[in-house]
Amino acid sequence: MVERKTGRRMSVARQILILQLALLALVIGVGAALAVVDERRDSDDAIRRQVSSIAQTLALSDSTAAALKSPDPTAILQPQTEKIRQATGVDFIVVMAPDRTRFTHTSPELIGQLFTGNIDRALAGATFTETYAGSLGPSIRAVTPVYDSGGTLVGLVSAGVTREQISKQFAQSVPVILFVAGGGLLAALLSSLLVSRRIRRQTLGMAPDELRTMYEHHDAVLHSIGEGLVVIGRGRSNDARVDIVNDEARRLLDLPEGPVPLSSIPETMRVDDASPAKDQVHLTDKRVLVVNQHPVEWEGNRIGTVLTIRDHTELQNVLGELDSVRSFAESLRSQAHESANRLHTIITMVELGRNDDAVAFATNELRVSQQLIDRLMNAVHEPALAALLLGKMSEATERGVDLTITEDTALGPVPSLNARELVTLVGNLVDNAIDASRASESPWVEVTVMEEDSMMVVAVADSGPGMTPEALEKAKGRGYSTKSGSRGLGLALVSQVVKRHGGTLTSEPAMGSMLVVRIPLREAETPR
């Protein structure tokens, strides 16, 4: 596990918080500055529109042109312009003659003096605005011509607002801009803190180099361990999904490279049980796997399941061969025990002087046994299978089960199956039948191994209760037993052999219970 040195290293959450705050402060600061500049520009545009409107309205008034033609324009226009100035909030309204002589002004002492500013465009008939430093200081002003009813230029009107007044009006809007910017910065700070808190929980308060080191270590471990590892997590919709698959798991389960959908995992491994499971046996078409299941919890919540997978194929094969040897040894022991009983019987008859009966008894037992041996050795091409059937007969007799090998039993060479697979197939079917038949009062088992329509048929019937289709499917998928507290592999191993060779395993109606295996007989492949 990676050591966390939070005292020396800044966590991912803190780094992101600082970066977010710096970026947000920059963005909000630039935005506020642009807002101030835009507000100043909008304020100047509004002033230009205002003074132009006032000047044009006054110039278009008939009373203005009539006053300019009167002997004393100031006496008529000065009171009117002052009322308009005070009502509109502008700093000055100047009515002048075409030669710049002022007739009105905010400062009466300037009346009669020349207007300072540009009037050329107004004399040409245009209305224009400009920024000019006049008698009241820098100002934004508009100048427009005044015409009489005959279209003769009789004067000019100028209205304006000083820069000082504009600055005062602008200063009133700056606090609003700053307040909005401050509110945005505060909201950004709170959201960044929430994001930082969430990231801190997701990264466990670790620094970037710690996360990198942990990832590298975990990735190296996942790819180097000898066991298969599959982590099944949960998505946003609480659906199961495959989060992690290491190289060994891909090999054991024959999974492709890249993302692995849940459907690619064997169905028997998709069980998301709440309780852990240890050393469960799962069979694929090629392998015998032992799986451990461990639930994963975080802060008291179930977040997924970890599966560890070990390959026990070779071990299972060895154990299968050991079981076969053990079965043969048990059969030999049974036969030896039975032969000893028969020998004692013969010896006793001889001691009693009944020599003819002893000879007849020995001859009859030998003849029956030899007939069965001769029939199986001649009918069954594979010696291991014939020996297995003979051994199972002795074992069944000792266990009180009447085992019959039917007269139809005959099997030639089977190139597609080797001796081990034949022994696994037939041996497990017979063992299961013997166990199941003992539940009845008169236990019996009937075995048939034959060829039919280019198929190898193995039919094993017994006096047991039989299996439901659901139980058979479960038994074919993984270790299963009908006996309480037992976990068998017999039918699962049989199913594995059947699948490997493209055959079928079914349950068919009979006087008791009967399982039938059909496997196509294919010619042995010629080595290339």
pLDDT at 457: 92
Would you say 462 and 445 are in contact if contact means Cβ atoms under 8 Å apart? yes
Give all strands of the β-sheet with 240-245 in edge-to-edge order: 240-245, 228-234, 301-311, 288-298, 277-283
Would you say 162 and 138 are in contact if contact means Cβ atoms under 8 Å apart? yes
CA distances, 460 to each of 74, 204, 338, 516 (Å):
132, 61, 25, 7
Task: Kindly report the average pLDDT of the chain as a whole number.
Answer: 77
pLDDT at 274 > cutoff 50: yes
pLDDT at 156 > cutoff 70: yes
Would you say 232 and 307 are in contact if contact means Cβ atoms under 8 Å apart? yes
How far from each other are the two terminal CA atoms of the chain, in whole angstroms? 52
Higher pLDDT, 481 or 101: 101
DSSP string covering 369-405 = HHHHHHHHHHHBS-HHHHHHHHHHHHHHHHTT-EEEE
Q: Do 55-169 and 226-311 show the same overall fold? A: yes
pLDDT at 507: 85
pLDDT at 221 > cutoff 90: no
Angstrom distance (rounded) from CA 136 to CA 107: 9
* Range with the largest mean pLDDT of 299-313, 322-336, 402-416: 402-416
pLDDT at 84 > cutoff 80: yes
Confidence class for position 251, pLDDT limits 50, 70, 90:
confident
For the chain, give the number of residues. Answer: 528
pLDDT at 286 > cutoff 60: yes
pLDDT at 9: 63
CA distances, 139 to each of 101, 368, 410, 412, 499 (Å):
19, 135, 121, 118, 98
Domain 226-311, second-level architecture: 2-Layer Sandwich (3.30)
- Percent of the chain at pLDDT > 70 equals 73
Confidence class for position 144, pLDDT limits 50, 70, 90:
very high
Q: What is the mean pLDDT of residues 433-448?
A: 89
Each residue's pLDDT tens digit, 339-364: 666 677 778 877 787 777 777 766 66
Each residue's pLDDT tens digit, 500-518: 888 888 888 766 788 999 9
pLDDT at 470 > cutoff 70: yes
Whose tokens are 């970890």? That residue is: 306
pLDDT at 320 > cutoff 60: no
Check: pTM over 0.75? Answer yes or no.
Answer: no
Confidence class for position 525, pLDDT limits 50, 70, 90:
very low
Angstrom distance (rounded) from CA 381 to CA 390: 14
User: Nearest 5 degrees, angle CA 52-CA 56-CA 57?
Assistant: 115
Confidence class for position 157, pLDDT limits 50, 70, 90:
very high
Confidence class for position 412, pLDDT limits 50, 70, 90:
confident
Q: What is the mean pLDDT of residues 129-144?
A: 83
**Closest by CA position to 304, among listed 359, 243, 394:** 243
Angstrom distance (rounded) from CA 520 to CA 220: 45
pLDDT at 446: 92
pLDDT at 13: 61
**Closest by CA position to 388, among listed 323, 461, 455, 476:** 323
- 207 φ/ψ sector (left φ>0, alpha ψ -120 to 50, else beta): beta
Confidence class for position 325, pLDDT limits 50, 70, 90:
low
Confidence class for position 519, pLDDT limits 50, 70, 90:
very high
* Range with the largest mean pLDDT of 72-81, 223-232, 335-344: 72-81
- Domain residue extents for the chain: 55-169, 226-311, 315-520
**Closest by CA position to 324, among listed 375, 379, 389, 377:** 389
Correct CATH for 55-169 of 1.10.10.10, 3.40.50.720, 3.90.79.10, 3.30.450.20: 3.30.450.20
pLDDT at 397 > cutoff 50: yes
pLDDT at 6: 45
pLDDT at 456: 92
Sorted by sequence, the CB contacts under 8 Å of residue 266 that are 6+ apart come out as 253, 282, 284
pLDDT at 481: 44
Fold of 315-520: Heat Shock Protein 90 (3.30.565)
Tokens at residue 112, please? Answer: 């009669």
